[in-house]
């Protein structure tokens, strides 16, 4: 798990000062980027080296408590599952001891022409280092 701290900016909130629901996905993205960076990679380097992309194929969010303007929040990001051509990340958004939201994203692995490709073994090894996956990393 990698923890990423963020400060809620005014532009992320609605008229009531509560974070607009879709902005939680931006927080998840920030957490995922820092997760990948903590594993010794930068997403742009992955794209350039492997000539692959990891677009979001599925997403889910469960909202527990509202995040508000100027809150210091943390996104806890983990690689939950890796399959032959996809990876699932899990997220917890917290403010101190309060759980604000949980969620996940599933990413397909595609080449530059949009064709599904196998996730490179080196990438899987790096991303799963130090992680306890709920499902084993599948070689299929």
> Which of 57, 69, 54 lies closest to 23 in space, CA to CA?
69
- How far apart CA 110 and CA 87 sit, in angstroms, is 12
- Strands (E) in 31-136, as ranges, are 52-53, 56-63, 72-82, 86-95, 98-108, 110-111
Element (H, E) at 23: helix 23-38
d(CA 91, CA 51): 26
For residues 61 and 27, the answer to whether their CB atoms sit within 8 Å is no
Residues marked active site are found at: 14
């Amino acid at each position: 798990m990698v923890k990423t701290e963020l400060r809620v900016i005014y532009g992320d909130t609605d008229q009531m000062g509560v974070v607009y629901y879709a902005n939680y996905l931006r927080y998840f993205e920030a957490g995922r980027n820092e997760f990948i960076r903590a594993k010794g990679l930068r997403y742009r380097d992955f794209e350039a080296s492997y000539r692959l992309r990891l677009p979001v194929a599925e997403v889910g969010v469960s909202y527990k408590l509202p995040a508000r303007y100027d809150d210091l929040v943390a996104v806890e990001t983990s690689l939950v599952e890796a399959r032959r051509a996809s990876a699932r990340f899990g997220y917890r958004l917290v403010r101190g001891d309060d759980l604000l939201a949980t969620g996940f994203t599933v990413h397909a692995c595609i080449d530059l022409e949009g064709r599904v490709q196998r996730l490179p073994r080196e990438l899987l090894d790096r991303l799963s280092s130090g992680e306890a996956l709920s499902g084993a990393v599948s070689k299929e």
